[in-house]
C-alpha cells in the first residue's frame, strides 16, 4: 500500500488527507518507483539522512538562543550590576538632603543682627513621578500654594525629572498650606513638607543695606559655582553676600528606606549638616539705631567709622527695606509697597555725589603741598572772581576780606579756594584727590559701591567732546562741577586728617577680613604743617565757623568738621557734614549726607552729626 511523505517538490501529488497546500509524494514499490522515474525522465531522489539534518538545525538554533540569552544575562549581572542596583534602590531608598543652618551675624557687642528660625518648606521629588504625571499635578499644586504653574514647571525642568534631590518650590509655608498638603499627601505623591531654618532679622530694617538679605542661588551663580546645588540659599546683598563662605556651612543628609506609598520605613544612614560660623561685625547696634533715627525718614546716609582702624560702627541709608521679606516668598503687594519708595535698595553711603565744600580739605592739602601756597598764605576774598567772562561767586555774595587757610576753612570762603585752584592748576587737585582715595574702590567689598570721579582732560574729552576749561578747575576746587565722592570715601578723607595722615581701609568685620588689593593702612603723604592746618581749620569750623551746630555741648568732647552744600539743579541742594571727635584724640568719624534736603550743611546735616556723636559718647543708662 502506498505511503505519503511531505516533500519539497512542487510537482508531487497531494494526499487526500493533507492540507491542500501540503505537497506529498506517493511512494510505491521499488519496481513501480523505477518505472515512475523512468516515465518522468528524472533520476531517483535520495531521502536517507534528511531527518537528522533537521534535528541538527534545531539543536544549533537552540544553542544560539541559549548563548544569546546567557550573554545578555551575564552582561546585566556583571557589567551593569551597579546601574540596575541603583535603579532598584531609587524605588525604595531615598536621600533627604539637609541644608545647614546659616551662621549667625552679631554686632561688635554680640547683639544678634541675623539668625535663623524654624519654618516649613515645600519640596518636590522629581523622580517619584513621570514627567507626564507631574504635568497633570502642577495645576492642582499651584492652586494650593498660590504659585504660578509656570514657576513650578520651570524649577522641575531646571532640576531634571530624574533628579534624586528634592526641589524647593516654597519657603516659609503658612500653617494652612502645611495642613492642606499633609491631608492631600496620598493624592500628591512626590510632594513633601519639610522643616527648614530660614533667615531671620530680629531688628527688621535696621542696617538692612549693610546686612543685605538671602535667597535661592541665581542660575548664573549656580553655573559658575559647581559646589552649589539648585535651590541653595545664599547671600544676595551686603554682608550676607560678602561673607558667604564664612556663613554658608556644609550640607548633610539622611538615607531612608520607603514603602510603595513613599512612607519612611527606617533610616539607613545619616550625616548631620555643619552649621555656618558666627560672624561678628564692627557695627554697633545702638549707634546704628541712633543714626537711622537721626535721618528721620529723609533721603540720605550716615557713616560712622573708627579713624584708627577703619571699623564701620554705623552705616545708615534711607529709604530702606525689611530683609525678612526675602526669607520667604515676597507678595506682589509687598513688592508694590517697596516700589513706591525712591530706590530703597540703594545704599546711599556708597553712592557718589558732588562733595561740595567738604572737598576743601583736599584743596587745602593740594595748595600747601604744591608749594605754590605755603602754610602762611593770606588771600583777599571778594564777592566773586571772573574767569573767561564767567563770574564765580562766593556763597555769601560778598566775600570775607583777607583770610588765611584756617579762616577760609572756618568761613568756607569759595573765592579763597578759587584762587588756590587758579594758582596750582588742576594737576595737584587730581593728585591729592587720588591720594585721599577718591575715584577708586575703598576696599570695603560691598557690591554696588560707586568709585566717584576725579575728572581730567582725557575724561572730559571722551564724555563731553570738549577741552578742559579753567572754569572746570575753579568748580572742582569747591567740590562742584564734575568731581564726585561717596559718603564712605569722605569718611576716609576725614579719617586721614583725624588719625595723622593715614588712609585706612573701611572694614565691616575685624574677625574676617576678605582678601582685597586695598591696603589696610597707607600714608597719604601730607607734611606735618599741612596736617596741622587741616586739623586746626576743621576745629575752627565748629568753634566759630559754619559748623556751630556740630558742637556737642557741656560734658562732651570737642569736635572738628566741615560743612558742605552741593548744588543739584533743578532739584534742591544736598547737605553735607564731615567731622570727628574728640578733637585731640579722635575715636570716631561721622559723615552725614542729606540728598536734596535743601538748606546748608551747617543747618541740616550738622545736627544729625551731633546726635550720633552724643549717642557714642553718652554712657549707656
Residues known to be catalytic: 357
CA geometry: angle 6, 9, 12, nearest 5 deg: 75
CA dihedral 61, 64, 65, 69 (to 10 degrees): 170
Cell 535667597, residue located: 215
Spatial separation of the C-alpha atoms in residues 140 and 138, rounded to whole Å: 6
Contact at 8 Å (CB) between 122 and 191? Answer: yes
Question: CA nearest 588: which of 498, 525, 459, 453?
Answer: 498
Q: Please, is 396 exposed, middle or buried when counting C-beta atoms within 10 Å of its C-beta (0-12, 13-18, 19+)?
A: middle
Residues shown for the chain: 621
Spatial separation of the C-alpha atoms in residues 454 and 438, rounded to whole Å: 7
Question: CA nearest 366: which of 479, 471, 451?
Answer: 479
Q: What is the DSSP secondary structure assignment for residue 4, as one 8-state letter?
A: E
Contact at 8 Å (CB) between 561 and 605? Answer: no
Spatial separation of the C-alpha atoms in residues 408 and 400, rounded to whole Å: 8
User: Cα–Cα distances in Å, from 153 out to 131, 159, 178, 223?
Assistant: 10, 10, 21, 20
**Grid cell at residue 359:** 572737598
Cell 548744588, residue located: 567
**Grid cell at residue 13:** 501529488
Kind and range of the H or E element at 417? helix 414-424
Spatial separation of the C-alpha atoms in residues 268 and 255, rounded to whole Å: 5
* Other CB atoms within 10 A of residue 219 CB: 10
Return all residues near 607 (Cβ < 8 A) that are at least 6 apart: 294, 549
Kind and range of the H or E element at 141? helix 131-145
Question: CA nearest 313: which of 492, 497, 606, 509?
Answer: 509
Spatial separation of the C-alpha atoms in residues 430 and 374, rounded to whole Å: 19
**Grid cell at residue 294:** 537721626
Instruction: Output b/e per residue, 558-589; b: 16+ Cβ within 10 A.
Output: ebbbbbbbbeeeeeebbbbbbbbbbbeebebb
Write out the DSSP string of 533-601: HHHHHHHHHHHTSTTGGG---TTS---EEEEEEEEETTEEEEEEEEEEESSSS--EEEEEEETT--S-H
Contact at 8 Å (CB) between 356 and 566? Answer: yes
**Grid cell at residue 454:** 576725579
**Grid cell at residue 308:** 584708627
Amino acid at each position: 500500500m502506498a505511503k505519503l511523505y511531505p516533500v519539497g517538490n512542487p510537482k508531487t501529488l497531494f494526499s487526500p488527507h493533507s492540507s491542500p497546500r501540503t505537497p506529498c509524494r506517493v511512494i510505491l514499490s521499488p519496481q513501480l518507483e523505477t518505472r515512475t522515474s523512468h516515465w518522468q525522465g528524472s533520476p531517483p531522489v535520495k531521502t536517507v539522512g534528511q531527518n537528522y539534518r533537521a534535528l541538527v538545525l534545531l539543536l544549533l538554533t537552540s544553542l544560539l538562543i541559549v548563548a544569546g540569552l546567557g550573554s545578555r544575562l551575564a552582561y546585566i549581572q556583571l557589567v551593569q550590576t551597579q546601574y540596575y542596583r541603583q535603579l532598584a534602590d531609587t524605588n525604595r531608598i531615598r536621600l533627604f538632603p539637609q541644608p545647614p543652618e546659616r551662621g549667625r551675624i552679631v554686632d561688635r557687642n554680640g547683639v544678634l543682627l541675623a539668625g535663623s528660625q524654624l519654618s516649613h518648606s515645600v519640596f518636590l521629588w522629581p523622580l517619584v513621578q513621570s514627567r507626564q504625571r507631574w504635568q497633570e499635578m502642577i495645576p492642582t499644586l499651584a492652586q494650593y500654594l498660590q504659585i504660578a504653574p509656570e514657576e513650578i514647571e520651570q524649577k522641575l525642568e531646571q532640576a531634571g525629572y530624574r533628579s534624586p534631590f528634592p526641589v524647593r518650590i516654597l519657603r516659609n509655608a503658612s500653617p494652612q498650606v502645611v495642613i492642606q498638603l499633609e491631608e492631600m499627601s496620598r493624592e500628591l505623591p512626590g510632594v513633601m513638607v519639610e522643616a527648614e531654618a530660614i533667615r531671620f532679622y530680629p531688628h527688621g530694617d535696621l542696617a538692612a543695606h549693610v546686612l543685605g538679605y538671602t535667597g535661592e542661588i541665581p542660575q548664573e551663580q549656580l553655573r559658575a559655582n559647581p559646589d552649589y546645588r539648585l535651590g541653595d540659599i545664599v547671600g544676595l546683598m551686603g554682608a550676607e553676600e560678602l561673607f558667604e563662605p564664612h556663613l554658608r556651612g556644609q550640607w548633610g543628609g539622611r538615607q531612608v528606606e520607603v514603602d510603595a506609598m513613599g512612607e519612611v520605613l527606617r533610616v539607613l544612614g545619616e550625616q548631620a549638616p555643619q552649621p555656618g560660623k558666627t560672624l561678628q561685625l564692627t557695627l554697633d547696634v545702638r549707634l546704628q539705631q541712633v543714626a537711622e533715627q537721626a535721618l528721620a525718614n529723609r533721603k540720605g546716609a550716615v557713616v560712622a567709622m573708627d579713624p584708627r582702624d577703619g571699623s564701620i560702627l554705623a552705616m545708615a541709608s534711607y529709604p530702606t527695606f525689611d530683609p525678612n521679606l526675602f526669607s520667604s516668598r515676597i507678595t506682589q503687594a509687598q513688592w508694590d509697597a517697596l516700589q513706591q519708595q525712591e530706590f530703597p535698595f540703594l545704599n546711599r553711603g556708597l553712592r557718589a555725589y558732588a562733595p561740595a565744600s567738604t572737598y576743601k580739605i583736599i584743596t587745602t592739602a593740594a595748595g600747601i603741598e604744591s608749594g605754590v601756597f605755603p602754610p602762611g598764605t593770606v588771600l583777599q576774598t571778594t564777592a566773586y572772581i571772573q574767569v573767561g567772562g564767567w563770574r564765580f561767586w562766593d556763597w555769601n555774595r560778598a566775600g570775607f576780606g583777607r583770610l588765611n587757610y584756617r579762616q577760609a576753612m572756618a568761613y568756607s570762603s569759595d573765592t579763597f579756594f578759587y584762587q588756590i585752584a587758579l594758582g596750582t592748576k588742576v594737576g595737584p587737585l587730581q593728585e591729592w584727590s587720588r591720594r585721599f582715595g577718591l575715584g577708586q574702590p575703598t576696599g570695603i567689598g560691598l557690591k554696588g559701591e560707586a568709585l566717584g570721579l576725579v575728572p581730567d582732560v582725557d575724561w572730559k574729552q571722551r564724555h563731553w567732546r570738549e577741552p578742559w576749561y579753567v572754569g572746570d578747575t575753579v568748580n572742582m576746587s569747591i567740590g562742584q562741577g564734575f568731581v564726585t565722592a561717596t559718603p564712605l570715601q569722605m569718611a576716609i578723607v576725614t579719617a586721614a586728617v583725624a588719625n595723622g595722615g593715614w588712609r585706612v581701609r573701611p572694614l565691616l568685620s575685624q574677625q574676617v577680613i576678605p582678601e582685597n588689593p586695598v591696603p589696610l593702612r597707607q600714608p597719604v603723604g601730607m607734611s606735618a604743617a599741612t596736617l596741622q592746618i587741616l586739623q586746626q581749620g576743621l576745629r575752627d569750623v565748629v568753634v566759630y565757623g559754619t559748623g556751630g551746630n556740630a558742637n556737642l555741648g557741656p560734658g562732651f568732647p570737642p569736635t572738628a568738621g566741615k560743612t558742605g552744600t552741593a548744588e543739584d539743579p533743578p532739584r534742591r541742594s544736598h547737605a553735607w557734614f564731615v567731622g570727628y571727635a574728640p578733637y585731640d584724640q579722635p575715636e570716631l568719624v561721622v559723615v552725614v549726607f542729606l540728598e536734596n534736603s535743601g538748606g546748608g550743611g551747617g543747618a541740616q546735616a550738622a545736627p544729625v552729626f551731633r546726635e550720633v556723636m552724643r549717642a557714642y559718647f553718652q554712657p549707656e543708662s
